């Protein structure tokens, strides 16, 4: 089905003109809409129906009528927009802004407005648009340029004008062939299986809906490793390629083999590793272990390879090759609760430094799993107790665990409010059994017992976290994390040496702008636009006194500082991971 808002978006267009095929899409839509209207009129036979409301209230109604209140509705348990006719007796629930689904419909409709306007405003194709927990977003393909801050007021005004016109959303059922005709994309929708869509002005976007009745309901629119050592981890590096026998032994070949990059050599099959846990099990098993060595914590930052479907790859957030701050903890049952609590505290410490809040979810036994149900039940109870003791709200995701054990997923939000699952804590009773891992217990005779394995990642995919951080910072990285901490700007030739050497000696990321053909003010401005945290200007007077003139990327003039004192202060701000270090100089 398609949803469309009547009326054209009359906006000033950027160079390049409107996106292609819009006029043709409108013409095809009008023809399909007229056919659908005739079919509805023929099917509407009238007659009375009964509508059941929450609380047991039962009201009479007419077949074919629609509801004119609230934002969206739930009919017989299924969400729908308010323009959908009631064709028979139904259980009806009206959802307003106070209901999560009502809010989601409003934000989803706002995303359609923003997408319709932005696509024409920038004359650029739409990539995706959608709702978040507290708003909406849209992504455009802006080739060779970015959205400028001074453009936002005009974009907001255009969105408000479009919304105030009260364009109604219309529903249209289409076949796959009709959708291909609308999009004019040849046979690129081979996998399309009736996914609903949204039509808003000249915009066509696949979307499940529902949406509000018209755009006028949108009242306002606005575009909007030291820690590892301290916690007892040993960093290891394991091979990238392993014999397929390892993955068959671990169970990954059966459950994950189709997502692995594999090849044959000399009659044997090998695979690029998609995860580190089997290799870490080999490290544990390479010699006898004692209970005194537990917990054994292994951290691995090696590259992983996963053959994700091409259609799911997305920038830095989903890759075939990525790095993960992967760690595995081998411990006893008695140590389990303390280790999980330590993992949760590790997550809180790192995310606080990065400026992220997070939410927790416990994912339990899936339909297809390794091991026996009683072992799973015991693992899930341990994780639930640790979450209760952690003291932060959490939610339950039944059946969403990994095939080898239950897990705690940690979700963060990016600058647009989109959820990203980065950190994870997974409990595993299966791999220690498959690899025959044992340790000698402290009891008489040193009987062997099996350890428990905890899979743990804090950042998750480093590339995905980098993408989320980049959007969150908007290019203005905090000093301790910034790849561009300082730009050294000499007034004349040969005056920068003492500053440059001192910064690099302290491990700061500093660059030099010694362009003799550019004015000093232009060099400073260029460094500020590139978001260098600090600009350090060095002239003959500063060189003679052993000082440096400091400015921040927001053009705050800190003034002349003695170089040793400045370096001492920068070291302190870096060590404490100060979020706004430039304001604390």
By annotation, the residues acting in catalysis are 277, 306, 324, 326, 328, 407, 455
Pairing mode of beta strands 241-243, 268-272: antiparallel
Beta bridge partners of 299: 235, 327
Peptide bond connecting 86 to the previous residue in cis, omega within 30 degrees of 0: no
**The token pair that represents 152 in the structure block:** 């936002």
What sign results for the dihedral spanned by CA atoms 63, 64, 69, 71?
positive
The residue written with tokens 């799911």 in the block is: 312
Q: Please give the Cα distance from 464 to 237 (Å, whole number).
A: 21
Instruction: Pick the closest to residue 407 from 451, 445, 457 (CA basis).
Output: 457
Look at residue 244 and give its three-state secondary structure: helix
Q: Please give the Cα distance from 179 to 2 (Å, whole number).
A: 9
Pairing mode of beta strands 359-363, 419-428: unpaired
End-to-end CA distance of the chain: 58
The b/e string for 278-292 (b: 16+ C-beta within 10 A; e otherwise) is: bbbbebbeeeebebe
CA distances for 3 relative to 81, 100, 120, 168, angstroms: 10, 21, 18, 9
Instruction: Pick the closest to residue 402 from 442, 368, 358 (CA basis).
Output: 368
Q: Provide φ and ψ at 207, rounded to 5°.
A: -160, 140
Instruction: Pick the closest to residue 203 from 107, 312, 124, 105 (CA basis).
Output: 124
> If you ran DSSP here, which 8-state letter would residue 260 be given?
S
Could you tell me the maximum CA-CA distance found in the chain, to the nearest angstrom? Answer: 96
Q: Rounded to 5 degrees, what angle do the CA atoms 262, 425, 478 make?
A: 95
Look at residue 564 and give its three-state secondary structure: helix
**The token pair that represents 168 in the structure block:** 């109604």
**The token pair that represents 28 in the structure block:** 């095809």
Peptide bond connecting 295 to the previous residue in cis, omega within 30 degrees of 0: yes
Helices (H), 324-400: 336-354, 373-390
Burial class (CB in 10 A: 0-12, 13-18, 19+), 128: middle
Q: Please give the Cα distance from 237 to 240 (Å, whole number).
A: 9
> If you ran DSSP here, which 8-state letter would residue 91 be given?
E
Q: Please give the Cα distance from 85 to 496 (Å, whole number).
A: 75
Look at residue 218 and give its three-state secondary structure: coil
């Amino acid at each position: 089905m398609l949803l469309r808002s009547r009326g054209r978006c009359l906006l000033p267009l950027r160079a390049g003109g409107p996106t292609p095929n819009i006029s043709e899409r409108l013409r095809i839509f009008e023809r399909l809409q007229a056919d659908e209207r005739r079919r509805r009129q023929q099917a509407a036979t009238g007659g009375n129906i009964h509508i059941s409301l929450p609380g047991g209230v039962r009201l009479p109604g007419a077949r074919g009528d629609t509801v004119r209140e609230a934002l969206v509705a739930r009919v017989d348990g299924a969400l729908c927009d308010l323009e959908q006719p009631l064709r028979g007796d139904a259980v009806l629930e009206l959802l307003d802004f106070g209901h999560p689904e009502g809010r989601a419909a409003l934000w989803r409709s706002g995303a359609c407005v923003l997408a319709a306007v932005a696509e024409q405003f920038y004359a650029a194709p739409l990539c995706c648009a959608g709702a978040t927990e507290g708003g909406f977003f849209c992504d455009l393909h802006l080739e060779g340029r970015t959205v400028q801050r001074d453009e936002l007021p005009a974009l907001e005004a255009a969105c408000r004008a479009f919304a105030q016109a009260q364009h109604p959303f219309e529903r249209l059922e289409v076949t796959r062939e009709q959708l291909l005709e609308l999009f004019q994309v040849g046979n690129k929708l081979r996998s399309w299986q009736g996914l609903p869509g949204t039509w808003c002005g000249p915009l066509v976007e696949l979307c499940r809906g529902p949406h509000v009745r018209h755009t006028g309901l949108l009242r306002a629119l606005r575009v909007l490793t030291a820690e590892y050592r301290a916690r007892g981890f040993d960093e290891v590096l394991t091979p990238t390629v392993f014999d397929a026998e390892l993955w068959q032994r671990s169970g990954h070949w059966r459950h994950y083999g189709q997502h692995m990059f594999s090849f044959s050599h000399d009659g044997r099959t090998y695979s690029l590793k998609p995860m580190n846990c089997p290799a870490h099990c080999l490290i544990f098993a390479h010699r006898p272990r004692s209970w005194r060595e537990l917990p054994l914590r292994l951290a691995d930052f090696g590259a992983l390879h996963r053959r994700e479907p091409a259609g799911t790859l997305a920038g830095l957030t989903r890759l075939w090759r990525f790095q993960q701050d992967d760690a595995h903890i081998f411990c006893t049952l008695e140590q389990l609760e303390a280790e999980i609590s330590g993992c949760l505290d590790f997550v809180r410490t790192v995310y606080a430094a990065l400026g992220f809040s997070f939410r927790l979810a416990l994912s339990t036994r899936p339909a297809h799993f390794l091991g026996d149900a009683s072992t799973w039940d015991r693992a899930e109870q341990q994780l639930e107790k640790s979450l209760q003791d952690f003291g932060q709200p959490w939610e339950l995701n039944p059946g969403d665990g990994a095939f080898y054990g239950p897990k705690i997923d940690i979700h963060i939000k990016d600058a647009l409010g989109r959820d990203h699952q980065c950190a994870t804590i997974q409990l595993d009773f299966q791999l220690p059994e498959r690899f025959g891992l044992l340790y000698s217990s402290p009891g008489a005779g040193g009987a062997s017992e099996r350890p428990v394995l905890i899979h743990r990642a804090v950042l998750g995919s480093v590339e995905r976290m980098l993408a989320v951080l980049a959007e969150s910072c908007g290019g203005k990285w905090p000093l301790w994390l910034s790849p561009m901490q300082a730009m050294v700007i000499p007034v004349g030739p040969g005056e920068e040496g003492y500053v440059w050497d001192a910064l690099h000696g302290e491990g700061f990321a500093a660059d030099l702008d010694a362009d003799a053909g550019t004015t000093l003010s232009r060099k400073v401005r260029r460094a500020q636009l590139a978001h260098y945290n600090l600009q350090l200007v060095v002239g003959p007077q500063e060189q003679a006194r052993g000082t440096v003139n400091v400015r921040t990327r927001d053009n705050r003039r800190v003034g002349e500082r003695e170089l040793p004192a400045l370096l001492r202060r920068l070291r302190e701000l870096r060590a404490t991971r100060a979020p706004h270090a430039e304001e604390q100089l």
